[in-house]
Amino acid sequence: MARRSRAREVVLQLLFQWDQNPAPVPRKAVAGFVRDRLLADADMEQYSLSLLDGVVAHKDEIDEALKSAATNWRLTRMTPVDRNVLRLGAYELLFEKSNPPLEVVLDEAIELAKRFGSEDSPAFVNGVLDRVGKLRKAEKTEVEAAPPA
């Protein structure tokens, strides 16, 4: 498994825990979990923690984007795995500074959904994140087309 894929897997596990048990977990415990799971790969530890922090910091905005993209689905009706795979993918699409390509984000999210979700999870995750990606593209196009102020 690729290093970044493994880092995303660890983030998903932490997001699942956070979603199911909103009581704060000490940062030291989170960092220790990440270190143990990523076999002390410092670069991937940092990457994993930055993804986790980004999703947590932007949760409300991410959830709004997912509500817009997941027509006829409330977040509370989604399985916890699907909901958190979507949050991670939406964070990468909307807020990640490296601006990863839509295809990469979709592939990674689909793999997480296959591994941890239900039989229907990969298609569901693909459809919702594809819509989030199209919304992102539309917003960028609008910004680029707007006349300078």
pLDDT digits (tens, 9 = 90+) for 6-31: 999 999 999 999 999 978 899 999 99
Backbone angles phi, psi at 41, to 5 degrees: -85, 95
Q: State the pTM of this model.
A: 0.90
- pLDDT per residue over 44-85, tens digit each? 999 999 999 999 999 999 999 999 999 889 999 999 999 999
In the numeric block, the tokens 């143990």 are attached to: 36
Q: What is the pLDDT of residues 119-141, one digit of tens each?
A: 999 999 999 999 999 877 766 66
Q: What is the DSSP secondary structure assignment for residue 97, as one 8-state letter?
A: T
Domains of the chain: 3-144 (1.10.940.10)
Residue 127: closest CA among 84, 80, 77, 86: 86
- Start-to-end C-alpha separation, the chain: 47
| DSSP structure string for 16-75 | HHHHH--SPPPHHHHHHHHHHHTTT-HHHHHHHHHHHHHHHHTHHHHHHHHHHHSTT--G
